[in-house]
Amino acid sequence: MNYRSSKALLSLLVPVFALSQTAGQSINNNVDSFFSKTLAPVSVYAVKGKTPQKTYQLKSADWVQHDASQVLLQIAGFNAIRKSGNFGFDPVFRGFKWEQINLITDGAMGAHQACPNRMDPPSSQVMINQIKEIELYKGPHNFRYGPATGAIINFKMNDPVFSDNPKWNGRVGAGYETNGSIRRTEAYINRSSNRWQTALAFSYSAGDDYKDGKDSIIPAVFNRTAINFTTAYLVKQGTIASINITRNFSRNTSFPTLMMDLLSDDTWMIQAKYQVVAKNKWYSQWNTQAYTSLVDHQMGNSLRPTSATMLSHVFANTETTGGRTELVFRKNNSVIYIGADLKYEYANGTRSRKMMTGMMAGKVFYDTLWQQGSILRTSTFAHVEKRLGRFQLTASGRLDLVNSKPNQPAAKTIANNALTASDDFNTSLSVGISKTFGKIFQMAFWLGHGVRSASITEKFINYLPVGLDAYEVVGNTQLKPEANNQIDFLLRYQTEKSLIQVNFYSAMINQFITTVVDPNLKPVIASSPGVRKYINVKDVSMIGFEINYAQQVGKFLNQDISLAYVRGQNKVLNEPLPEINPFELKYKLAASLMNSKLQPYLNLRHSFEQNRISNSFMEKATGDFTVIDFGVKAIAAKNLLITAAINNIFDFSYREHLSRFITPTLPLNAPGRNWVLMLSHQF
């Protein structure tokens, strides 16, 4: 960041800090909430409905978003790997990505991407207009919902609500963005009675190419539809059985940074739940879930110039099936969770390559993608919280037995590996202590050891370019589990009008899973620069912090500031890790006028330059930039909310550091100035 941009940034912030604080409303707690009302590395972000106490209220416009990552990007510490202009953003948190982040819905359900290049990451399958709130478990400190190394993101759906008399309610929303002609619609209708609750939800989003700040056209066509059906039955007082079915469709989506475009992506996600809230029994609550997700994916290069020499097409499908059961015991000042879960993942796919020119014209070659790889994980877990006066003690543990194998191993895999199947036994543990000092200050310290086994891609991918560069990548069936040893130190200071929270963390990762160029391996495609193979690196570190500050300024203004920084280092190669979020500052100033019927706001985001890059992956540095948005939310009539905004007001041209390149010299730049209009009506 140069001196001139630093001066400009400070000039925007100084007038706001200079505002005097006068008598007014108490500040809304819109940064991290605290588990059991004490300091812990867990945050709850409200998406819609009534705002729970101590939550972060997201914009109502989130209801019509087509990708969950677009909501996560509002949270300090998050960024996303972008391979398309408007679709399939792959979340990165504190430098952790892919399977280092456990992304689930309602504590269990998830979908495995069917694209080897993650055109359809798990976040793209979340139907955001069905989500009540987002729980973010930072680091390896809570193991109730699965292995945790970087983070667990739990998208919680609405709880069933019954009524003595039949009642109907619902919501309709729509939005339009001028830059890219993005159209969004969503609808939700619900009927409840004394025994049944049934809801139906729908969303549709589509967009075209957009222009960056220099009026360059960025390929960004996308089309997505989602439908959800949910029904719940009150078996008896305190006992509820429910089923949730989601169907997602994506069609003809541009991925200009990859070798192919998405042609179709069809997903089924089904979950059944049985919940018991007990009275006068030896347990307090018993929750059981079973789920399955099926993804069918097609992609090809038929619209690319490369199809003139070789026409490529991919058919792929994945399955994720599992379940969990959990008992909850609540006594006096303690809560105990004990349970078990099972998860099965399977991935299959074939790439066809038809030669269009030369002596081999007309010949077709077929390549297996994941060698029909499968992983079966059987687990038990326990989580305990105990309050002792001003202290709260927490312990969490998990045991995972993981079996992985290729059901149709490729000839090269058999030749290069003595064993193709493997079994891992992983142990994860975490302890934490927090203390309150009066009513305004809290402090906490957490120590965690989280272990995960290698994913299907890391073990079984078969000579495909799925990484940061153009090298083909091959899996390694004998990868060791990756272990993150992390400490988190948290401080929180709150008065009636202001709140500041600081979270420092340091992670030492053993057997870090990454790729290196193997000169002994020959690529399948002659034009590929070579082959990368997954390996374990013994010693990797990530350190960083998040700082959040919120203040009530006078009667009508609120301001929020967040800072997030992470530094990743490969200590074996003595170089930075690739794809690490740059240091970022976010600022928001909002006003509440006319009894909250008119709410103008200003958002500022400054991303500092990222010069800590990985030479091994030929990563490119990114300059600093500042983006400013302005918007107004207004209650125009009863239950009608209108949001109008101008994003990137000054039409800056910039590239997010984690965005891929279309060509080695052509970046996937972010959208330029964008006018946005959104409406939402509840009934």
Question: Does the structure show a pLDDT above 90 at 145?
Answer: yes
Please tell me the predicted confidence (pLDDT) of residue 21.
Answer: 34
Mean pLDDT of 501-521: 96
User: What is the DSSP annotation of 133-181?
Assistant: EEEEEESS---TTS--SSEEEEEEEPPP---SS-EEEEEEEEEEETTTT
Tens of pLDDT, residue by residue over 455-480, are 999 999 999 999 999 999 999 999 99
How would you classify the pairing of strands 151-157 and 101-105?
parallel
Give 453's contacts (C-beta < 8 A, 6+ positions apart): 147, 375, 377, 400, 402, 404, 424, 426, 479, 481, 482
Quick one: which of 146, 585, 84, 546 has its CA closest to 339? Answer: 146
The DSSP element (H or E) to which 415 belongs, if any, is helix 411-416
Tens of pLDDT, residue by residue over 580-609, are 999 999 999 999 999 889 999 999 999 999
Q: Are 531 and 523 in contact (CB under 8 A)?
A: yes
Q: What is the 3-state secondary structure (H, E, C) of 423-439?
A: EEEEEEEEEEEEEEECC
Higher pLDDT, 157 or 671: 671
Question: Does the structure show a pLDDT above 70 at 57?
Answer: no
Structural domains in the chain (count) = 1
Question: Does the structure show a pLDDT above 70 at 66?
Answer: yes
Q: How confident is the model at residue 40 (pLDDT cuts 50, 70, 90)?
A: low
The rounded percent of the chain whose pLDDT value lies above 90 is 77
Please tell me the predicted confidence (pLDDT) of residue 44.
Answer: 61
Q: Are 503 and 546 in contact (CB under 8 A)?
A: yes
Instruction: Please give the torsion angle defined by the CA atoms of residues 269, 272, 278 and 284, in that order, rounded to the nearest 10 degrees.
Output: -40
Please tell me the predicted confidence (pLDDT) of residue 418.
Answer: 66
Please tell me the predicted confidence (pLDDT) of residue 403.
Answer: 97
CA distance 259 to 512: 28
Q: Which of the listed ranges 49-58, 131-140, 152-161, 202-211 does the model predict with the highest average pLDDT?
A: 202-211
Mean pLDDT of 388-394: 92
Question: Does the structure show a pLDDT above 90 at 223?
Answer: yes
* Domain span at 225: 3-682
CA distance 665 to 59: 36
Mean pLDDT of 314-335: 95
- Provide the residue type at 232 as one letter: A
CA distance 50 to 220: 35
Mean pLDDT of 612-617: 95
Mean pLDDT of 146-160: 91
Mean pLDDT of 113-131: 92
SS3 8: helix
Quick one: which of 46, 101, 53, 99 has its CA closest to 74? Answer: 46
Please tell me the predicted confidence (pLDDT) of residue 39.
Answer: 52
Buried b (16+ CB within 10 A) or exposed e, 151-179: bbbbbbbbebeeeeeeeeeebbbbbebeb
Give 447's contacts (C-beta < 8 A, 6+ positions apart): 430, 431, 432, 486, 487
Q: What is the CATH number of the domain that holds 581?
A: 2.40.170.20
Q: Are 51 and 60 in contact (CB under 8 A)?
A: no
pTM, to two decimals: 0.90
Q: Are 449 and 338 in contact (CB under 8 A)?
A: no
Mean pLDDT of 305-328: 94
HSE-CB of 366 using CA atoms within 13 angstroms: 7
CA distance 566 to 577: 11
Quick one: which of 245, 213, 212, 217 has its CA closest to 231? Answer: 245
Give 150's contacts (C-beta < 8 A, 6+ positions apart): 93, 94, 95, 96, 97, 100, 101, 139, 484
Mean pLDDT of 230-258: 95
Quick one: which of 65, 67, 75, 45 has its CA closest to 57? Answer: 45
How would you classify the pairing of strands 222-236 and 239-253?
antiparallel
Structure tokens at 638: 């009863």
Q: What is the mean pLDDT of the chain?
A: 89
Would you give the distance in Å from CA 92 to the centre of its chain?
7
Question: Does the structure show a pLDDT above 80 at 42?
Answer: no
List, edge to edge, every strand of the sheet that includes 462-464. 462-464, 472-474, 531-537, 512-517
Burial of 217 (0-12, 13-18, 19+ CB in 10 A): exposed
